[in-house]
Amino acid sequence: MNESSLARSILGGTAQGPVIATQEALSFWGGVDPATARVIDVHHSMHGICLTGAILMMPSSRGSCTGSGVLLDLVLNGRAPAALIFSEAEDVLTLGALIASELFGKPLPVLRLAPQAFAALASAKTARISDTAIEADGLSLSVSPPASSALDLTEADRAMIEGRDGIAVQQAMRIIGAMAVQQGARSLVDVTQAHIDGCIYASPANLTFAEKMAELGARVRVPTTMNAISVDRANWQEQGVPHDFGDPAARLADAYVRMGCRPTFTCSPYLLDSAPKCGETVAWAESNAVIFANSVLGARTAKHPDFLDLCIALTGRAPLSGVYLDEHRKARRIIDVEVPSEVDDAFWPLVGYLAGHAASDRIPLLRGLGAARPSRDDLKALCAAFGTTSAAPMLHVEGVTPEADGAVAADADRAVITRADLVAAWKSLNAGPEEVELVAIGSPHASLEECRALAAVLDGRQRHPDAAVIVTAGNAVIADARTEGTLARLEQSGVQVVPDLCWCSISEPVFPTRTRAVMTNSGKYAHYGPGLSGRAVRLGSLADCVTAALTGRAPVRLPTWLS
């Protein structure tokens, strides 16, 4: 490999600072505090480190699509890393840096290094980056300029770029084009629908972007659903949410509604009547939704970052790259899972979490799970947990998911998830006190079947007075639960069912302030919850959650299928 191929500029600029390097990908949303730039992911090796002013090196990002908004906020408020250096393809943080440069004139260099150059630079203490070179502790690397390949655009594409449909669409096409080039796309593709993740008030930058686009006259041109937001839109003031948070969070949701988005406010858009069909080309953001759409529904969507989701909704066009293409949907790692007998619902988030660790940078094929006959909700839990620990936009489950047959690439390698791995992960995600003050259900948003199951297990019994039980769900599910009487049964047991919010966006006082420990059946929230809430969060089955709800306690022990 010649020196010129060792380092490539993705987004130009100059920077200098201390080198902070990790071999573990990080989600900026749920992993980095926008107010301090400190890593808050308690499961990450960089926990507690401040990233401001650093040359941050990691293989790629992972987890939430909302990381682009967190990075943009850090840039706009002077708390961002000085530069980002990856060794693999990366879209989420790159898009945040692109928006900072394109819309706000604040460039942040993004580079990609070959593995040997990445390893050499990672051992340096400080580095200086220019448009043409990286200098660090005696190491000198030439930097190749950003890719500049021309896209094969349609007449309609060119008309949008030239401003035919207004400034907002023109700006959106510029952003899409820039992302397409850095992804290696040669053309764009039509999408039939979009799902917006950027409506979560992760930081003031999300509101700044949305209101700027709305003021420019932005209007979506394909049917577009909206993710969960950060407040119960109709009731946040009555709930005591502080005005300085509730008002901008509600304004953010309103901005997207003004742009023509459907106020679905759910992180489980695959539960809606508008869910895409197998083979349908869509543009979804929100990591769990993307993985479920690709893996379980057989639809096609890249893992679009926040902000790019709106750009695609405004134009109906997306970069034709990644898992939109057949060759990139194949598994490059086969994972054999040692499945214990008689597993319960807690098995699925646990194995998804481990599968993400085992395939952090590639699509896996999971083998051995078919005999356990996962339900739609089991697969929902698996996909959501997988998305917290992997950057991959999909997975395959042999004998279960629609593209699993023939889904293995010729160069695929192998891995195993053993019973010992399951035990270790369970202990890691189940650390905390036995006393539980809060039971959290609905991350991602609960389905009607999950609401029915919870009502059935509670069977009219009252929750313990010291243990709040909150279910977050989409309005469509709540309406169906109300019609059939399930909502009334839950409320009779003291369960609070909250619309619009999800556990990854909930805040005090809707999140009970007296809580010290949380019990959840979500692998996603078990991972993100400690950093987001500052509380201990324990993973368990639905039955474990009900035990905690009724008694205020949850014994720390292995499930029977791991004992």
CA 116 to chain centre: 29
Q: How many CA atoms lie within 13 A of 80 on its CB side?
A: 28
What pLDDT, on the 0 to 100 scale, is given for residue 3? 44
**What residues are paired with 446 via a beta bridge?**
473
Q: Are 529 and 535 in contact (CB under 8 A)?
A: yes
Phi, psi torsion values for 509, nearest 5 degrees? -90, 5
What pLDDT, on the 0 to 100 scale, is given for residue 1? 34
| Residue 64 known to be catalytic | yes
Using CA atoms, how far apart are residues 106 and 64, in angstroms rounded to an integer? 23
Alpha-carbon dihedral sign for residues 21, 26, 27, 30: negative
Strand pairing report for 55-57 and 15-21: parallel
Q: How many CA atoms lie within 13 A of 380 on its CB side?
A: 20
* Of 64, 295, 321, 360, catalytic: 64
Question: Under 8 Å CB-to-CB from 444, ≥6 apart: which residues?
Answer: 267, 268, 288, 289, 380, 384, 502, 522, 524
Mean pLDDT by 10 residues, the chain (563 residues): 67 96 93 95 95 97 89 95 96 93 92 94 96 92 85 96 96 93 94 96 90 96 98 96 96 98 98 98 97 98 95 98 97 98 97 98 97 97 97 97 94 97 96 96 98 97 97 98 98 98 94 97 97 96 97 95 94
Q: What is the DSSP string of 223-245?
A: -EEE---SS-TTTTTTTT--HHH
**What residues are paired with 111 via a beta bridge?**
9, 85
What pLDDT, on the 0 to 100 scale, is given for residue 5? 56
Which strand (E) or helix (H) includes residue 54? none
